[in-house]
Every structure is written in structure tokens, then in C-alpha cells.
Amino acid sequence: NAGVTQTPKFQVLKTGQSMTLQCAQDMNHEYMSWYRQDPGMGLRLIHYSVGAGITDQGEVPNGYNVSRSTTEDFPLRLLSAAPSQTSVYFCASSPGRILGNEQFFGPGTRLTVL
Amino acid sequence: AQTVTQSQPEMSVQEAETVTLSCTYDTSESDYYLFWYKQPPSRQMILVIRQEAYKQQNATENRFSVNFQKAAKSFSLKISDSQLGDAAMYFCAMEAAGNKLTFGGGTRVLVKP
């Protein structure tokens, strides 16, 4: 198993550009989520999905879109990048909705918006 | 809403010694889980230990143990016999509903040889 994979590892954008951060998992996990990590603030939940076709907002959803057409993939879209979106982005997955399930994290994408 | 607070931005420990990281949290939920995650320089998030709120017994995983004080809403992590490989950022996190984790701001652990 590759686990949770994310591409790209690094990305530099200009303000106003759009891009998609890719996330895939091969563990047949129902639950997937996106977090952003900023210095001194830990990780904050952006969007999450409890299964294919179902998504919902987390703590900091503004400026980001998601969709979940398959169990395996959960891309995060930035429609018009802003410098405030400079951060490290982590995708995570877990087996299901049971409280306390371990979440498996991808290696992260470092995004810089100029 | 859930909040998790880590009051120690950085802790330093001598190799083979013990260090304790503090974490306090707040939630109105009666059932929840608490976690400690390790993030080494590679950026990979690694689960260290987890504790269910209903269990009174403190969780242990090899050299890692927790002190869970439910009434005080405190969840500290003790690293015993510290090793150079323990140097990392450590995040306290809570899950109260729907697999959504709330993280603290992190504590950097430095291990001196």
C-alpha cells in the first residue's frame, strides 16, 4: 500500500492563479480530509468528506473547493490563490466514522503564493 | 466548539532523560478521543498515542505515556528515556465528533546528546 499520496510536494503560485492539490489513498477509507498548517497554529481543517459524493466544510473553508467523485481521490482546488493561502497542506484519511479512528496523513504540499 | 492549547512552544531534554509536554483542551462533548501526533523534519504526521475519554487508565506506548486528567481537561505526554529520534514537533489533538481533529499549536522538542 502506498497509503496517502499528495502531489505536488512544492508549488509556487502568483496571486489570482488557480490550481488543484491532488490527494489519493489506496486503503479504501471512507473518510478523507484536508488540513492546512501555519506556524504556531497547528493544523486546521479545511474540508472533509465522509464518502464518495459527500463533502462538507471544516474550520477554514473560504477560498477552497473540494469534490469526491471516487473513494480514492479527494482533490483540493484553489480558484484564485491569495498570499494568505501560503501554507503547508495535508490530506488525511481514516477507515470510517467511528470516533477515535487513526487518521493517516499524506506527506504534505508546501504552497507559496506570491 | 473544541479548543486545544499547548502552552510550551519548545522543550529541551537531555538524551536518556524524561520530558513532559502539556496540553489542555475544552469541549462540551461527553465522548471524545485525545491524541498526540509527532511531526519530524520530514513533515510526516505520525500518531504517537491516543486516549479515549471514557477510559480512566492512562494510555502507554513503549516509552510514551500520557497523564489524562478528565476533570481538569488536561492531557500531558511523557517521553521517557529520550532518544535523538524523538526530536520533532509534537501536536496534541482532540476528536469529539465526525473524525474532525482539532489541533493545538504544537511543542518543539529538542534532544541534546
Instruction: Return the residue of B nearest to A48 by Cα.
Output: B100
pLDDT, tens digit (0-9, with 9 covering 90-100), for B26-48: 998 888 999 999 999 999 999 99
Classify the phi-psi angles of B28: left when phi > 0, otherwise alpha if psi is within -120 to 50, otherwise beta: alpha
C-alpha A94/C-alpha A92 separation (Å) is 7
Q: Suggest the residue from A23, A43, A91, A102 to mutate for an interface test with chain B (most B CBs closer than 10 A).
A: A43
Q: What is the pLDDT of residue A105?
A: 96
pLDDT, tens digit (0-9, with 9 covering 90-100), for B44-57: 999 999 999 999 89
Spell out the residues 6+ positions from residue B39 whose beta carbon is closer than 8 angstroms to its own: B45, B46, B88, B89, B90, B91, B106
- Closest alpha carbon to B93 in A68, A74, A94: A94
pLDDT, tens digit (0-9, with 9 covering 90-100), for B86-104: 999 999 999 987 668 899 9
Query: In A, which residues are within 8 Å of B99 by CB distance?
Result: 31, 33, 48, 50, 94, 97, 99, 101, 103
Q: How far is CA B58 from CA A82, B24, B48, B52, B69, in A?
A: 44, 16, 14, 9, 9
Query: In B, which residues are within 8 Å of A92 by CB distance?
Result: 45
Residue A88 near chain B (CB below 8 Å): yes
Query: In B, which residues are within 8 Å of A54 by CB distance?
Result: none
A37/chain B closest Cα distance in angstroms? 10
Q: Is A21 exposed, middle or buried (0-12, 13-18, 19+ CB in 10 A)?
A: buried
pLDDT, tens digit (0-9, with 9 covering 90-100), for A33-44: 999 999 877 899
pLDDT, tens digit (0-9, with 9 covering 90-100), for A49-73: 999 999 999 999 999 999 999 999 9
If you count residue pairs, one on A and one on B, with CB atoms under 8 Å apart, how many are there?
62
Residue B36 near chain A (CB below 8 Å): no
Question: Per the omega criterion (within 30 degrees of 0), is the bond before A107 cis?
Answer: no
Cβ contact (<8 Å) for A107 and B42? yes
Q: What is the pLDDT of residue A41?
A: 79
